[in-house]
């Protein structure tokens, strides 16, 4: 084999390995049967969430997965696949799951989440989680609830005292 070809393949394997190591979440999807227009629509939806989708040769992706310790991905790298990488742990699964509901030809196979190889069940569970901003707002509302409830009680007591309704305050 030509040395230049070998070097270019090694560069691609290194690129895939780097993506696998740096990503919080990686998902393998089979896109057989999707039109170019549908794939473009999917890429736009992924880009909006800062998620990258790339198509690599399966053999090169298998080598990269083996090099990075994600051997569990190799069995899913058959057929026309794309690898979806993200720094957010939930974004790829969420976007792909939403897209797959309207496009049955898109099939999620497996992936990695925070350094662990996961199957379709885990990806489906993760897809139901809210995004980072949604989780932050949920946490903030949990932190604000006790303060808000205390403020409501203080306000009710103050209003009761102003109205001369001392019995309501004691109750």
Task: Compute CA distances 96 → 31, 39, 144, whole Å.
Answer: 11, 11, 33
For range 42-61, the mean pLDDT: 91
Count Cβ atoms below 10 Å from residue 85 Cβ, excluding itself.
Answer: 22
For residue 55, pLDDT over 70 is answered with yes
First vs last C-alpha separation in the chain: 89
Nearest to 34 by CA among 83, 84, 102, 98: 102
For residue 119, pLDDT over 60 is answered with yes
For residue 140, pLDDT over 60 is answered with yes
Spatial strand order in the sheet of 116-118: 51-54, 81-86, 25-30, 107-113, 116-118
The DSSP string of 44-67 is HHHHHTTEEEE---HHHHHHHHHH
Q: Is 79 helix (H, G, I), strand (E, B) or coil?
A: coil
Cα(13)–Cα(164) distance, integer angstroms: 78
Confidence of residue 148 (pLDDT cuts 50, 70, 90): confident
Instruction: Give the dihedral sign, CA 27/87/122/132.
Output: negative
Q: What is the pLDDT of residue 40?
A: 92
Confidence of residue 167 (pLDDT cuts 50, 70, 90): low
Tokens standing for residue 89? 């742990």
Q: What is the pLDDT of residue 132?
A: 66
For range 46-52, the mean pLDDT: 90
Give me the torsion for CA of 30, 34, 37, 39, rounded to 10°: -10
Q: Which of 35-44, 89-98, 146-155 has the lowest mean pLDDT?
A: 146-155
* pTM score over 0.75: no
């Amino acid at each position: 084999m030509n040395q230049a070809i070998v070097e270019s393949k090694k560069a691609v394997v290194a690129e895939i390995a780097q993506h696998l190591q740096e990503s919080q979440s990686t998902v393998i999807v089979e896109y057989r049967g999707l039109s170019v227009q549908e794939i473009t629509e999917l890429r736009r939806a992924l880009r909006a969430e800062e998620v990258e989708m790339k198509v690599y040769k399966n053999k090169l992706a298998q080598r990269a997965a083996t090099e990075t310790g994600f051997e569990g991905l190799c069995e899913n790298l058959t057929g026309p696949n794309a690898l979806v990488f993200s720094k957010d742990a939930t974004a790829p699964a969420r976007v792909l799951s939403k897209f797959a509901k309207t496009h049955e030809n898109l099939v999620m196979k497996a992936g990695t989440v925070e350094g662990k190889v996961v199957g379709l069940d885990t990806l489906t569970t993760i897809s139901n989680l809210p995004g980072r901003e949604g989780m932050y707002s949920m946490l903030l509302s949990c932190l604000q609830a006790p303060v808000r409830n205390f403020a409501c009680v203080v306000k009710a007591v103050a209003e009761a005292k102003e109205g001369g309704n001392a019995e309501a305050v004691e109750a």
